[in-house]
Amino acid sequence: MKFSLHDKTLVLSELLIFYMIVVVSCRGPVYKPPETEKLTDYFSRLSVNQSYNVFYGGSNIHMTNNGSSAELILDKSSGSGLISKDKYYYGFFNAALKLPAHFTSGVVVAFYLSNSDMFPHNHDEIDFELLGHEKRRDWVLQTNLYGNGSVHTGREEKFYLWFDPTLDFHDYTILWNNHHIVFLVDNVPIREVVHNTAISSVYPSKPMSIIVTIWDGSEWATHGGKYPVNYNYAPFVTTMKGIQLEGCIKHQNNYASSIVIPTCSRRSTSSLDPVDGEGFMKLSQQQMTGLDWARRKHMFYSYCQDTKRYKVLPPECTAN
């Protein structure tokens, strides 16, 4: 049987469409998030060199666009990291990140708050951790927090993203005040930790630095090193821009004092909390809809559901 040029073109077109469907389905379903308030519109964007100093791996940090953005690199020699010039007591903290592509098993990109340098045995921490994944070759997003040195209890939750984080920049935001801690991705809340009596003893409460790193987490992030970083794909480059750091700045000269006396960088209803206005005290109905969407469709692990790990769940799990 002979096929005309038209028939061959039609068959090739159908095969191409089929191939595209298979490729998309292999990456999992694509979801469009619900509309939510754009909290990132409320605060000014800063350049990287305005906001951060080198934390480590200085030779693997490249400032770009006159310091408005930066490349953080992991290669065989080192990872790299930046640390905020100021320490903050409560605030709104954001970074727009574009992650490394290709095979990234063992690569960890972190955007987090910590004061482990000043309180090594009693530190607070609020974490975004983006984990290169060995099976889907996609990135997994993990959130976590510690308060007052509670590192023996991991409060991890893990999500699949609804976009490819290697193709463009996406906002990763931490809102931290006396009312709650909210993790947001592109302004969509994915996790809320309410400050209540059940969690008050481990609620982060001391001024922290904001840190961004890329590092080799093979032993920690890939089942004890089962899927280590493959440096044949190096260098692994994370690009960062769109910085927002809006909080109460803690001065170094009284940091050793047991009394926290921060100076606020923004006017607000509370002198101690620049994000304590009505719009930051609790999630709106629109934000609650986004939170429910993210957790139903994209969360695949929560410590509050891990009864194998915890015979007795942490108190905030049962309180909620």
d(CA 119, CA 117): 6
Q: Which of 129, 157, 192, 246 is catalytic?
A: 129
Q: Is the pLDDT of residue 291 over 80?
A: yes
More confident call, 294 vs 152? 294
pLDDT in tens, 81-101: 999 999 998 999 999 999 999
- 14 annotated active-site: no
Structural domain spans, the chain: 27-248+278-319
**Pairing outcome for strands 170-176 and 87-98:** antiparallel
71 is catalytic: no
Assign a CATH topology to domain 27-248+278-319: Jelly Rolls (2.60.120)
* Listed range (87-91, 242-246, 247-251, 306-310) with the worst mean pLDDT: 247-251
Among 71, 125, 157, 246, the one annotated catalytic? 125
* CB half-sphere exposure, 58, CA atoms < 13 A: 4
User: Average of pLDDT values for 287-300?
Assistant: 97
